Structure 1
């Protein structure tokens, strides 16, 4: 789709506003021009007509299709060259006050806003499509930083980008237009697929496979030793060698400081399209199905099998050696102890309450067994009375 290069307005952040004095801005623009030239940058900020955006997002256009949009913005801060969206009734009051060049709205909300609109059943999806178009990731700059350490037996595509102090070990393979960030490590015999980004200080341990167009965020560790120990007769722990791999499919995102342990004998497998947030622990031999998403601080114990398109909310725990079916949703801070066939929505967490109320409820909880026994005796007595018996 054709687009026209434009100069984007400076950010509204305090740091960016400080650049708007004439001297500071000239110095900054000079630095930025030199930086882009030295880096060989080819990316330009693009503007699209509203009609082009509507076609790309597959939504209905209402209003002036010829106006140009060059950025997305929050609903309450968007200007005439920005597009914003509203997908929640909590923000509906802001619609009529918005100064955005266009809003992405559900048809039910279209009457509140008199300006240009992109109408669709799911504004979040349309917003994501448009944001990806207006704000694409920067291109991979091929090359190898002089401080990178690359074993002579490793195979690295000429189009790949290898950052400062990155390490690529023996017989590893790095694909077309892959990025290995500063300080990242790709272990022996690993495979990194085309277009995959291994961000700064992420570690891919030996023999692991990362598919195409994945993002492994900073600090993630793929293929660390699984937590495998057996207790000897004298009580000491004996470590069990972890001999499997981690195999990750295509278009998988792994958040910062997330860890995925290698299998003990077989592999730990993360299927295509899985999205993992920051600070998640995936133990050895876990299998995660296609397009499942997990939020931060989820823990999945060893050998659990999780199906396709599942949603695991933050802080949840999945017991080891259980099976979770396709299309299962687990709400925040829940604990799955047994297998569930799905689809369905499962919860086990208790929401916070006033401390005094919680203390009283906790006291009652301690007497649940006694109350249950008393209730059974009452039920038995009532049953005998109704049947004409004596008690």
Structure 2
């Protein structure tokens, strides 16, 4: 990226400059290893000791840190948010496509907006609508009558099934499949009878979906993901799930059918969410938890077992296996005491 001044970055992220506003940087850098052409940040106080030795061209800090640092700085209220915005400004990630490749397969009935880029091997099926400024990576498939909003960014090898709706500025990473069949079957005397999944998937504006995710279409009604939702890699979402606005789903989560996730919910990695339950707004669920019943109040919830030294874990496991016998013994003691009182 061409060099930009600290003043330009400060204007972009809403900060003020301390020191030489015309100093130029080209990329972000770690506080301990950054050089003069790099911009760093300090958001965690435990790394404040590294400020005195940093060689970064400038550091993003808050007002409270200015007393401890006299070098070039951009002062913001929240340095971590400032870092995120500065990193966006300096981002050099290449686009998946530029222009419309001659090797893309676009059905004549598809509607393609202005300034759309479509990579080699991409397929745009009949009746699909692609909004302006959208980027469709190589070998990505857009199914019949799917509708993509403006500024959508689909990486290589993404599959968007028929009639799926993506809002403006939705981002989907490689290998994800949106709108595949939900796991719907009826059992007829031991024979599985497939139930066609007649709903679709609707994704709100500014939502980002990681790599290798699978989001099933609804059985009758739609699977719905709200706006500004962030979904990590390898998340599975079954048919008719609903996820509220501004929620965060971390890696390797499995959500069973018809579960309803509220707004501002954070679910950590490897959690399992049962079907046909609801989770209230602003709930946080820690990693490796299994949620089998509805959660009706905001708060932090856990059920995963943290790691222990092996011998301690073995001891606890043996004791847990004895809980049933211990319970029976306590009941017998209670009964004996009751009989003695008589």
With the shorter chain as reference, the TM-score category is: over 0.9
TM-score, length of structure 1 as denominator length: 0.81
Q: 1:215 to 1:384 in 2, by over 3 A?
A: same
Structure 2: where are the runs of 5+ without partners? none
Does structure 2 conserve the Cα–Cα contact (< 8 Å) formed by 1:198 and 1:216?
yes
Q: 1:213 to 1:351 in 2, by over 3 A?
A: same
Tell me how far apart the structure 1 counterparts of residues 289 and 193 of structure 2 sit (CA, whole Å): 32
| Cα RMSD (Å) | 2.4
1:365 matches 2:327: no
Q: 1:372 to 1:121 in 2, by over 3 A?
A: farther
Structure 1: where are the runs of 5+ without partners? 1-44
Q: CA deviation at 1:76?
A: 1.8
1:292 matches 2:247: yes
Q: 1:140 to 1:259 in 2, by over 3 A?
A: closer
Tell me how far apart the structure 2 counterparts of residues 372 and 58 of structure 1 sit (CA, whole Å): 62
Largest Rg, 1 or 2? 1
Q: 1:244 to 1:96 in 2, by over 3 A?
A: same
State the Cα deviation string for residues 305-348 of structure 1 (Å, max 9, x = none): 11111111111111111111111111111111111123211111
Counterpart residue number, 1:250: 205
Q: CA deviation at 1:115?
A: 1.6
State the Cα deviation string for residues 291-315 of structure 1 (Å, max 9, x = none): 1111110111100011111111111
**Aligned counterparts, 1:42-61, within 5 A:** 45-61=1-17
Does structure 2 conserve the Cα–Cα contact (< 8 Å) formed by 1:140 and 1:160?
no
Counterpart residue number, 1:315: 270
Counterpart residue number, 1:27: none
**Aligned counterparts, 1:101-140, within 5 A:** 101-135=57-91
Counterpart residue number, 1:183: 139
Matched residues, number: 342
Tell me how far apart the structure 2 counterparts of residues 189 and 113 of structure 1 sit (CA, whole Å): 57
Counterpart residue number, 1:224: 180
Counterpart residue number, 1:69: 25
Aligned to 2:53, the other structure's residue is in SS state coil
Q: CA deviation at 1:108?
A: 4.4
Q: 1:83 to 1:237 in 2, by over 3 A?
A: same
Tell me how far apart the structure 2 counterparts of residues 384 and 94 of structure 1 sit (CA, whole Å): 71
Counterpart residue number, 1:331: 286
Does structure 2 conserve the Cα–Cα contact (< 8 Å) formed by 1:143 and 1:158?
no
